[in-house]
Amino acid sequence: MFIKTCTYRYCLKDFETKISKQKYCCIRHKNQESYQMKNDDYQYEIILQKARLDNIKILEGLLDLEVYRISAIELTKMGFNFKAAIVPDINDKKQEVFRYGYIYLIAISTTEFKINIVTDK
Ligand SMILES: [Zn+2]
């Protein structure tokens, strides 16, 4: 017999089992933890989605002020969330290009960005 601790976040009780790999005290707790993990992922997606929209608003505000070049520090001070970035493209100058709505943020160095409006070719 093994003494294990149930992995379900709202249980965490010790239980006895003959199966060394068993993580949950019962099938119900296994299912509930699985549901909770999916819900965590969903909540995280919502937070990221909101951060992305906030990022777009910040970049739109900068374009309104005709700011086309900005440092990462200034962006962070304005509440820009770099964690909400999508996977960047690489342009022909080997710079990382992040797209936020109709705006491109191009990494011209490790600390500075250029802001461009997406134009269809
Ligand atoms: Zn349990």
11-61: pLDDT as tens digits: 999 999 999 999 999 999 999 999 999 999 999 999 999 999 999 999 999
Judge if pTM exceeds 0.75.
no
The whole domain housing 17 covers 2-117
CA angle centred on 57, ends 108 and 117, rounded to 5°? 45
- Per cent of the chain over pLDDT 70 is 98
For the record, the structure tokens of 21 come out as 């790999």
121 pLDDT above the threshold of 90? no
Q: How far is the CA of 43 from the centre of ligand 1 (A)?
A: 23
Gap from CA of 34 to ligand 1 centroid (Å): 12
Residues in Cβ contact with 86 at an 8 Å cutoff, skipping those fewer than 6 apart: 52, 98, 99
pLDDT greater than 80 at residue 85: no
Q: What is the chain's mean pLDDT, rounded?
A: 93
State both tokens at 113. Answer: 């960005």
CA of 10 to the centre of ligand 1 (A): 8
Tokens linked to 82: 């770099």
Domain count for the chain, please give it: 1
